[in-house]
Structure 1
Amino acid sequence: MDIRPIVAALGRHRIATSLIVLEIALACAVLCNACFLIAGRLALMRIDSGIDAPSLAVVALRGCDGCVNADVNARVLAAIRGLPGVQAAGVLNATPFGIRDADAGVTLDAEGRHFGGVPHFYTFGPDAIETLGLRPSQGRGFEAADFQPIENFLPTEAEVWITEAFAAHLWPGEAAIGREFWMGDYHFRVAGLLAHFARPNPGRSENGVAGAQWSVIVPVRDEAQSGVYALRADPLDLPRLAIAARDAVAAAVPEAVIDLDQSRPLSDLRERYFERDRAMAWLLLGVIAAMLLVTALGIVGLASFWVQQRTRQIGVRRALGATRGDILRYFQLENFLLAGLGIALGMALAYGGNLLLMRHFELARLPLSYLPLGAALLWLLGQAAVLGPALRAAAISPAIATRSA
């Protein structure tokens, strides 16, 4: 079909044409970025935490005046391990989806010239590592001599485990075992790699989603810290034991304050942590649905208006031999051209909008694959929206159309 008559007709309705093109462009920009954000949230919610969350619970203390670590740990661990059904328990500083405890920037040289990123430092006692079931995918496990006291923040020299994701960031394409990094005066050597271990705040750290598994596991002696305790049990017994452990600890250490908000099964902590992400995904789905609905209504309204305005023209074409299929294809091609102009502009807006989000909200770069997907969806939407008015136009008989002048 010759598109010159269509272009000429659109040129005579520049304002309406411009408005619908801008509407489609805005819908394309919003659709591509919103779908990208939703995909990112869904991927984050599926993150492998590196631990068997359904089997684990946490008891956290917040405040214990005059307490000594070794004494508190002894009383707390005895109370927890004394509960029938508890398989293991240990002391640590934090867990995935819990309270963030020790984020710190690291460098690849002692002089601090080559910045390596901001991981989260976990400090685990030997029983905590067994309780969480951690095993390195590469390198060696910790030995008794690796568990050291803490000097202010961390051991000054330590053999550590890091995640494969953090190793790939620090030394892309290179072996990480035996490599060194620094955090001020603290010096660390990589003894092993963990396939996965999420930081307490995955997706909400300085490095966003990219740093969700930037974790460092530092072995420390139990008496070097106190306040957070992990326990392992059968998943069926865990909800009951989580409450029982909290009550037992409260009785064993009455001078301590139990953090009821953080003392719960890890599955509950994970579920609560991602509440905002789920809400954001549903909100963005609502925005997408609203934009598509408004765009579809705009296309239907404009096409219906043009059918009414072109009734005589359609009748003349029918009288000259145009079939219903010809009229239908005319309106579909016209909408295809409008959608094409809007989508071309919308792709530029989508990419520009993504650059702004990258600059101000640390969002990742929009993959180019989202642009053709958004374009295809809007083209299909346009064809579906224009179908009703186009069928009504194709149903106009030549006689009725010519008498309408």
Structure 2
Amino acid sequence: MLLTLQVALTCAIVCNVAFMIANRIADVSMPTGIAESGLSTIQSIGTDTKQNAQALHETDLAALRAIPGVESAVAVSSALPLNRNDSFGPACPSQQVFDQAMRTSSLFKGGDCPLSSFYDGTPGLLRTLGLQLVAGRDFLPGEYTAKSNPSVAIISRELADRLYPEQDALGKVMILGGNALQVVGVVATLARPELHGMGDGYMSVITPQLPDSTSEIYVLRSAPGDRDRILKAAEAALFRVDPTRVIDPDQVQTYSQIRDAYFQRDTTMIGLLIASALGLLFVTALGIAGLANFWVQQRTRSIGIRRAIGATRGDILHYFQAENFLIVTAGVVLGVLLAIGLNLLLMTHYELRRLPLWYLPIGAAVLWALGQLSVLSPALRATQVPPVVATRSV
């Protein structure tokens, strides 16, 4: 009974832990829509507030593009996918929907106006980030603006499907923060800077708003193997342009480092969950093997009698395997019910998704295999008991 309960608890916990691991892995490996392997970033903080920001950006970008190996470079205000610098607001499909949301005080509650992240940057942003334009066009040179509000936008496909379901988003006029923007392009995927904040993770808007501060993030695209060298050269080039600027060494990084930092807690949790599941399976295997060893010791005379009346070694082996299979099966049946109950509890208190039913037969198969492997060594030892043992006194 104790072994059955142990198998049941192991089945319930391991099934849910495996599901949690799969969810974490899916989060960590989620696509952002940009060419991550070739991107590196460097944040520059200007100290001269009277400096012309646009002129500084042009000079800085010219110096960065002159570095051997740099394919393209742009300046952005602060937001990049997964860097947590999120600026967001409601995006409404029309002025009428915006006015209705204002009247009902539901503007920042999602619904027909999903909360979306804002991206901006200098010309060449789509090419530098490697964004895939699936409809429409890139921004025209005359559409970029520094001080006034832009009049056009490029949105992610997920936002386009949300705002204009079963319609072509191109040419539609969306309302973003009270400003009317015509949709001129749609990109396949563009993740938000903060995935677990308000709204969905892929609701994104790009506008031709030029960064208007001397403190910006420069994004450089190059071959993946050149990124470390280019970052060192970029830092030196920026200091040659303006020696008074401040560059935080922690903000001179490849995009891979940005992604790793964002998912650090998830990867740590994956390691802890894997260790806990393996530890629990190991303890269960020890329990099965220990009980089987105890049975062999207690049944040595019985085994000898069986051998004496004609039982083969294979019969003895199959006897212990069948006995273990029945015990583990009883534990698995109870464990499946406990797994479903535990999942419902996690859904209620920790917002975990519903456990797919196909995890249950996989968990059962793992425990059956574990039980058979654990009992194999004691069962083989039982097959070595000679028939002469039956003639000995108790």
- What TM-score bracket applies, with the shorter chain setting the length? 0.7 to 0.9
Alignment of 1:10-25 (within 5 A): 17=1, 19-25=2-8
The 3 A distance-change label for structure 1 pair 97 and 402 is: farther
The amino acid that maps onto 2:118 is F
Q: Deviation per CA, 1:126-165, whole angstroms, max 9, x where unpaired?
A: 23233224341123333345434567xxx48643321x34
* Superposition deviation, residue 261 in structure 1: 1.6
Match of 1:101 in 2: 86
Cα separation, partners in 2 of 1:21 and 1:219, compared to 1, 3 Å: farther
Are the aligned partners of 1:156 and 1:185 in contact in 2 as well (CA < 8 Å)? no
Q: Determine if the alignment matches structure 1 residue 132 to structure 2 residue 122.
A: no
Q: Distance in 2 between matches of 1:225 and 1:349?
A: 58
Structure 2 residue aligned with 1:197: 190
Give how far 1:331 is off. 2.0
Q: For the Cα contact (< 8 Å) 2:174–2:181, is it kept in 1?
A: yes
Shift of 1:266: 1.9
CA distance in 1, matches of 2:237, 2:90: 38
Query: Does the 8 Å contact 2:120/2:211 carry over to 1?
Result: no
Among 7, 27, 34, the alignment partner of 2:10 is 27
1:38: which partner in 2?
21
Structure 2 unaligned runs (5+)? none
Q: Which runs of 4+ in 1 moved over 6 A?
A: none
Number of residue pairs the alignment of both structures matches: 379
Q: 1:255 to 1:167 in 2, by over 3 A?
A: same
Secondary structure of 2:206's match?
strand
Pick the aligned partner of 1:282 from 263, 271, 279: 271
User: CA shift at 1:186, angstroms?
Assistant: 4.5
- CA distance in structure 2 between the partners assigned to 1:345 and 1:63 by the alignment: 65
* Equivalent residues of 1:73, 1:223 under 8 A apart: no
Maintained 8 Å contact 1:126/1:222? no
Confirm or deny: 8 A CA contact 1:160 1:188 kept in the other structure: no
CA RMSD of aligned residues (A): 3.2
Aligned positions of 1:133-212 closer than 5 A: 133-144=130-141, 146-149=143-146, 155=149, 158-162=152-156, 164-168=157-161, 174-175=166-167, 177-178=169-170, 182=175, 185-187=178-180, 190-202=183-195, 204-206=196-198, 211-212=200-201
Look up the match of 1:306.
Answer: 295
Which residue is equivalent to 1:69? 53
* CA distance in 2 between partners of 1:171 and 1:222 (Å): 29
Say whether residues 1:385 and 2:374 are aligned partners: yes
Equivalent residues of 2:43, 2:215 under 8 A apart: no
Cα distance, 1:49 vs structure 2:
2.9
Q: Provide TM-score, normalisation by structure 2.
A: 0.81
Cα pair distance change 1:106/1:315, threshold 3 Å = farther
Whole-Å Cα distance in 2 between the matches of residues 121 and 319 of structure 1? 82
**Who is 1:339 aligned against?**
328
Of stretches 176-185 and 320-329 in structure 1, the one that deviates more from structure 2 is 176-185
Contact 1:88 1:232 in 2 (8 A): yes
Assess, with a 3 A threshold, how the Cα gap between structure 1 residues 117 and 21 changes in structure 2: closer, same or farther: farther
Q: 1:230 aligns with which of 204, 219, 238?
A: 219
Deviates most, 33-42 or 355-364:
355-364
SS of the residue corresponding to residue 400 of structure 1 reads helix
Q: Could you say which residue in structure 2 is the equivalent of 1:6?
A: none
Identity rate, percent: 42
**Which 10-residue stretch deviates more, 326-335 or 108-117?**
108-117
Aligned-partner residue type, residue 192 of structure 1: G
Name the residue aligned to 1:59. 42
Query: Structure 1 length as normaliser, TM-score?
Result: 0.79
Unaligned 5+ runs, structure 1:
1-16
CA separation in 1, counterparts of 2:206 and 2:291?
Answer: 61
* Residue 247 (structure 1) aligns with: 236
AA of the residue aligned to 1:52: A
The answer as to whether partners of 2:190 and 2:202 remain within 8 angstroms in 1 is yes
| 1:314 alignment partner, SS class | helix
